[in-house]
Amino acid sequence: MIKTTTWKHNFSNYINLDHINANGHQHLQIFQPFASKKIRLQLNNLYDEKPLEIESLEIYTDSKKKVLVTKDGKESFTIEPRLVEWSDWIDFNLPAESFLSIDIVSPTKGIHTLGLTISNDLIRTENTDPVETKYFFGVSEIQVKTEHSHKRIALFGDSLTNQGNYAAPLSTDLETIFHCVTANYGISGNRLLHPGHSTSQWSTSFGEAGFTRFDHMIADYQPNIVIFMEGVNDLLHPGTGSPVSELPSAEALIKAIHLLKKKCKKHGIIFIPMTITPAFGNINGGVFAWSDEKEKIRLAVNHELLKLPNVIDIASFVGEDNKLKAEFDYGDHVHISKEGGKQVAKFVEEQLIRKKMI
């Protein structure tokens, strides 16, 4: 049997949020593509300074057949600060293409080690509003044992990936139609060249620079394919919370992306970059976040990206006259809407098929 990651979502440090787990209970439903008899959960307390106490953790697809998840044989356990640990392997009859329900009872309040989603396609919380941001804690990865290996695809980027409006429907198709497995390595607010460094209340959640965390992703997930979508925050943030001196040149961004491509080649990974989408009209912290200078940099970077063999020109698909088309605009002129995300997912899927990647 082969150990297979069937779901993985990047967690970050939301130190500014103190209301998470106010009621001491969390219910999640996470899509699982493959049938299995063995399952385990990754439990994440990486960014907190206090233990994450788990009084009980139950999984089920049928509410009448709940199964307790244990760690070191114990039904109640603690994840110590700054650690990521695994539960025991659990005997569990997991059907293919089902939503795994996860109930966590925990007395720990004010949890800051969190995942984020807007889409309900892969991750469903108790709040199913299609446009609200949802935060969840505890479980950041699911592994099962399967008879066959599966191609691993990492979706690496910022909030456009993390929020899931394009990434979740794309992952669903890649998993159910093409029998790949996917992992969401998006971090909202993340920049390629700089770590979180801003007057924004969200600064700590922006994470380390994408250029360095890319290495962690390779070592941790060992993907066969990386779909890379990052760079817009490198242009948005300077002057709107981050120092304007951190606005990179087009040459700096291009060089970094080429180095990521080389890292992938070294490890036998196919690198699929996507062009940087437009953000004209965005207001960040009450300040207009875009400028002619930033647009020139974006266009220069995209011009060079289009020379790469596996590039997907997402910017031309969602943009027109240097701004997002209305049908793709979430409302802030940067992020992709739910319906627009479905179109983006189909477009990327078609490109992967055309390039014979899947």
What per-residue confidence (pLDDT) applies to 23? 95
Total-model pTM? 0.97
Average pLDDT, the chain: 97
The residue that leads in pLDDT, 286 or 195, is: 195
**CATH number of the domain located at residue range(s) 150-358 in this protein:** 3.40.50.1110
What per-residue confidence (pLDDT) applies to 285? 82
Q: Report the largest interatomic distance among the alpha carbons of the chain, rounded to a whole angstrom.
A: 60
Q: What is the mean pLDDT of residues 184-190?
A: 98
Where exactly does CATH 3.40.50.1110 map onto the chain? 150-358
Condensed to tens digits (0 to 9), the pLDDT of residues 296-327 reads 999 999 999 999 999 999 999 999 999 999 99
**8 Å CB contact between 186 and 10:** yes
> Residue 302 is encoded by which pair of tokens?
């995209």
Where exactly does CATH 2.60.120 map onto the chain? 1-147
CA dihedral 241, 244, 249, 250 (to 10 degrees): 40
**pLDDT at residue 332 above 90?**
yes
Between helix 210-221 and helix 250-266 the angle, nearest 10°, is: 10
**pLDDT at residue 284 above 90?**
no
Closest CA to 32 of 175, 135, 130, 194: 175
What per-residue confidence (pLDDT) applies to 342? 98
Distance of alpha carbon 177 from alpha carbon 214, whole angstroms: 27
**CATH number of the domain located at residue range(s) 1-147 in this protein:** 2.60.120
Condensed to tens digits (0 to 9), the pLDDT of residues 19-32 reads 999 999 999 999 99
Condensed to tens digits (0 to 9), the pLDDT of residues 98-150 reads 999 999 999 999 999 999 999 999 999 999 999 999 999 999 999 999 999 99
What per-residue confidence (pLDDT) applies to 6? 98
3-state secondary structure 60-94: ECCCCCCEECCECCECCEEECCCEEEECCCEEEEE
Q: State the number of CA atoms in the 13 A half-sphere of 7 facing the CB.
A: 27
What per-residue confidence (pLDDT) applies to 286? 86
